[in-house]
Amino acid sequence: MSELSASEIEERVLSRITEDRWLPLATELIRTGQPRSGNPLDPDLPGGEEEAIAMLVAGKLEAAGMTVDVHEAVRHRPNIVGKIAGSGNGPSLMMNDHLDTYPVVEPEKWDKTDFDPYKATRHGDLLYARGTSDTRGNMAACLLALQALVEEGVKLEGDLIYCFCVDEERDGTHGSIYLTKELGITADYSITAEPTAWGSVSDGNWGMNLSIANSGHCLVEVTVTGEKSHIWRPDVSVNAIVEASSIIPKLQAMSFTHEPTEFMGHTPPCVTIVRVRGGLEGEMQFSPDSCTITLAVVGIVPGMTIESITRDIQAVADGVISGSNQVTASVRQVPGSLFVEATEPVPMDQEPCISISNAYKKLMNGAEPVPNRKNAFNDTIRLREFGINAVTFGPGEDGWAVDNENISITKSVMAAKIYALAIMSILGVVQP
């Protein structure tokens, strides 16, 4: 090692990061622990169980020479934290990812994987399966970077931490919130290996954004109340479903009170209707007197609160039903759900942005990653809330395919190389 220059060390590390190594690793991660790792956002449904994938990842970290700790807030949901201590002369860096995935509800739509959503299947440059883009494929890139560094005998000056969390799809209660706020696990800098990629490899116009901030989100329900009647007398009913249907278009088109910020995200503060419930089982002979609209508020920027959001929604609902003494609308945060605030950006002239940008520029023919605000939740938010300079950067597509989820193999290998260079740059390499 002493006879090698810094660039020679880098080239030897990069030579170990290949498609032939990433593909079987990603395939193994994709299958392991499914479907039990599926973790719905719905607060009225049971959460996932990430135990199997957690144990697999723990073993890979141990094989790479890390000391590994298991932290479990609830049974069958272990968070994995691995560490390689540095020489003591550098900062600490956390590589972060999550162990749960979206559930699969309609496997019959997964024609790219022979209708087995967990069968990793390649078509050209794309690998299809649940968890490829969010986020087993990103995880494989993260692990491959570690393996390459260790195999080349790279000794780091600062501490390298790998933190794999449960419950990310549900805003981090038993994962990143538990690890940071209850256990105090921290680092100077953090890179979350989550989707930020864009473009097509086939035409050469592609890259990965550097998400230096995140939007917030929340779940809100609007309950419309009317007057019940027998179905044979619709003339005397105030059908809550009908009344709710008049409110829905206004909610979908509404604007929220907010102050524009430099990084607004791809989606402005807005509403997505996710569920409508009305009528009672056993009462189909009556018109319903209650209907609840559940909506996700996304694209939340700094300064927006649950109070300001529910106030804006209440004003829209009241504006639709004004003049009717027989209809009311009440608005509240969905019980059991969390309000996720937007984060302030990490400056581009601070780590880990500097080293990610430099590695990206070196490996991507001089191009630079575009800083942005990521719309979706990931554990970056919780790490940022805890005072860590945390960003998101990864090869998954920032588009979240519901069915036939996929990831680019080319982008994944490139991300692993960028991770490896960034780790060495941020932590420093010990020269014997």
CA distances, 428 to each of 92, 146, 155, 191, 225 (Å): 10, 15, 9, 16, 63
Residue 336 predicted with pLDDT over 80:
yes
Specify the pLDDT at position 349.
Answer: 98
Q: Where in the chain is the domain with CATH 3.40.630.10?
A: 6-214+342-427
Q: Where in the chain is the domain with CATH 3.30.70.360?
A: 217-333
CA distances, 166 to each of 51, 140, 259, 407 (Å): 9, 17, 33, 21
**Overall average pLDDT of the 13-34 stretch:** 98
Residue 56 predicted with pLDDT over 90:
yes
Q: Maximum CA pair distance of the chain?
A: 91
Residue 265: which pLDDT band, with cuts at 50, 70 and 90? confident
Residue 154 to residue 157: CA distance in whole angstroms: 10
Pairing, β 121-123 against β 126-128: antiparallel
**Overall average pLDDT of the 350-372 stretch:** 97
Lowest-pLDDT range of 128-142, 205-219, 320-334: 320-334
**Overall average pLDDT of the 344-371 stretch:** 97
For 301-411, list the strands marked E by DSSP: 328-333, 371-374, 389-392, 406-408
Cβ atoms < 10 Å from Cβ of 171: 23
**Overall average pLDDT of the 215-233 stretch:** 94
Specify the pLDDT at position 234.
Answer: 83
Residue 9: what residue type? I
Specify the pLDDT at position 401.
Answer: 83
**Overall average pLDDT of the 55-83 stretch:** 98
Q: State the CATH architecture for 217-333.
A: 2-Layer Sandwich (3.30)
> Is CATH 3.40.630.10 the right assignment for the domain spanning 6-214+342-427?
yes
Residue 1 predicted with pLDDT over 50:
no
Specify the pLDDT at position 183.
Answer: 98
Q: What are phi and psi of 218, to 5 degrees?
A: -160, 165
Residue 136: which pLDDT band, with cuts at 50, 70 and 90? very high
Lowest-pLDDT range of 310-314, 342-346, 390-394, 395-399: 395-399
Residue 6: which pLDDT band, with cuts at 50, 70 and 90? confident
Q: What is the mean pLDDT of the chain?
A: 95
Residue 210: what residue type? L
Residue 360 predicted with pLDDT over 70:
yes
Specify the pLDDT at position 3.
Answer: 62
**Overall average pLDDT of the 238-266 stretch:** 94
**Overall average pLDDT of the 75-89 stretch:** 96
**Overall average pLDDT of the 192-201 stretch:** 96
Lowest-pLDDT range of 27-31, 234-238, 277-281: 234-238
Residue 93 predicted with pLDDT over 50:
yes
Residue 97: what residue type? D
* Tokens (6 digits) for 294: 């559940």
Residue 323 predicted with pLDDT over 90:
no
**Overall average pLDDT of the 212-236 stretch:** 93
> Of 269 and 236, which is predicted with more confidence?
269
> Of 206 and 399, which is predicted with more confidence?
206
Q: What are phi and psi of 182, to 5 degrees?
A: -100, -40
> Of 431 and 196, which is predicted with more confidence?
196
Cβ atoms < 10 Å from Cβ of 227: 14
Residue 432: which pLDDT band, with cuts at 50, 70 and 90? low
* Tokens (6 digits) for 363: 């490996």
Residue 127 predicted with pLDDT over 90:
yes
